[in-house]
Structure 1
Amino acid sequence: MRSVLVAVCASAVFGVCGAVPAVAQTSTPVQATAVASSPVLSLAPLTDLFAERLLVADKVAAAKYGTDKPIDDPVREQQILDDVSSRAVGLGLDPAAVAAVFRDQIEANKVVQRGLYARWDAHPELRPVERPDLVTEVRPVLDRITSELLGALAETEGVRSSGGGCEVRLVVAAGRSARGYGLDGLHLVGLGRAVPSVCG
């Protein structure tokens, strides 16, 4: 899976620069153009939501920076994992697999938050001038993305269980999502952290 993460990040970088996303080497070659043109086989619904969620991490960081609220929030994180595991059952999904995907999203968001903290510590002039409200502004957006992610996981279950074919599609989708959402270097690293559990 390490090689897949590297390929996803490389693909995302090329995608942001406007080049054709790279495709990882697998035992089952798949034409990237065919993958990208087939909405049924695409993992873009997932990677688009991953990218959107990563951008919300900026608001989470802005809300917490300079306060006593830690980046790590084990209680809140477990609440999210318990919630999505329970909802997964109703969608006919494996609760453990769904929890793993959401754990990756949580960790990816923390990668972005820590990166922003370091940037703001080093460059005070870049610090946010407004502090979003976590409860009224940020969490409703995250809750909406959570619901959409659960739906996307259900819709892409067949693709995600397709072995090597899933990894190729993941690389292509991640590159396109990174370009579409204009992810910078920090958020590309976050995107790489967000994907390990996609291809089950």
Structure 2
Amino acid sequence: MPRSPHLPQLLICAVLGLLASSAQASAPSPAPDSLQPLLVTLNERLSIADLVALTKWDSGKSIQDSAREAQVVANARKLAVDRTLDPDEFAELIAAQIEANKLVQYGLVAQWRAAGKAPDTPRPDLANQIRPQLDVLQNRLLQQYADFAPYRNDPECENWLATARSGLIKDSLHGQALIRATGELCR
């Protein structure tokens, strides 16, 4: 059987094709479009922690509010069931938000104690202004979490978070809190 003069060229093309496809397979996948809005909402929730800290400073109330935290987590479970999401996973995410918010509050109150005063800024009412904002954010967070949930197991999830978080961090305290707030997003 005569040998084809094009055989070496065909072999080279086949090898190059295999190399190109393996290079594409190892390239990291881009972050899903649903990640950024979710992180913006988490960051917005952390900004509200500054206001909560001010109200707790003024009132002398403890940052730890176990009864309120339990109520928020229980509500999160109900909302997750209504949207056919895993209630335990969504409750973990909300518990992480609570912990991240307390991290900001404790950090700010410690700074103010060291300075001997808190900032002279307007204080919204905790029960009538701040908590309704947090409830709205929780509903938005639920939808955004549902949109992102299919990507939680992606091997690139932690890398996506690290990259996306970096653009949202305003200082080290809030940066650490944002890391805590996103700690339950990837599996």
- Normalised to the residue count of structure 2, the TM-score between the two structures is 0.80
For 1:29-40, list aligned pairs within 5 A: 30=28, 34-35=30-31, 39=33
Partner of 1:152: 144
- Which residue among 157, 163, 166 is the counterpart of 1:172? 163
Deviations 1:24-63 (A, max 9, x none): xxxx7616xx43xx52xx4112211111111100000001
Q: Which amino acid aligns with 2:112?
A: W
Provide structure 1 residue ranges, at least 5 long, that are not aligned to the other structure.
1-27
How big is the shift at 1:135? 1.2
Q: After superposition, what is the alpha-carbon deviation per residue over 1:57-101, rounded to whole angstroms, capped at 9, x for unaligned?
A: 000000110424210000000000000111101212110000000
Residue 185 (structure 1) aligned to one of 172, 175, 187: 172
Q: Which moved more, 1:43-52 or 1:148-157?
A: 43-52
Which has the larger Rg? 2
> Bigger relative contact order, structure 1 or 2, given CA contacts below 8 A and separation 6+?
1
Matches within 5 A, 1:21-36: 30=28, 34-35=30-31
Contact 1:44 1:177 in 2 (8 A): no
Label 1:107 to 1:133 Cα distance change in 2 as closer, same or farther (>3 A): same
Q: Aligned partner of 1:148: which letter?
A: R
Structure 2 residue runs without a partner (length 5+): 1-25
SS in 1 for 2:184: coil
Identity %: 37
Q: What is the TM-score with the length of structure 1 in the denominator?
A: 0.75
Bigger CA drift: 188-197 or 107-116? 188-197
2:41 to 26, 32, 49: 49
> Would the aligned equivalents of 2:104 and 2:173 in 1 still touch at CA under 8 Å?
yes
Name the amino acid aligned to 2:158: E
Report the alpha carbon displacement of residue 193 of structure 1 after superposing the two structures with TM: 1.3
Q: Is the Cα contact below 8 Å between 1:88 and 1:150 reproduced in 2?
A: yes
Does structure 2 conserve the Cα–Cα contact (< 8 Å) formed by 1:53 and 1:142? yes
Q: Quote the residue 1:73 is aligned against.
A: 65
Structural mapping, 1:16-165, within 5 Å: 30=28, 34-35=30-31, 39=33, 42-162=34-154, 164-165=155-156
RMSD: 1.7
Alignment partners' CA distance in 2, 1:119 and 1:142 = 24
Distance in 1 (CA, whole Å) between partners of 2:77 and 2:27 is 33
Q: Is the 8 A contact 1:104 1:194 kept in 2?
A: yes
Whole-angstrom CA distance in 2 between matches of 1:29 and 1:125: 51
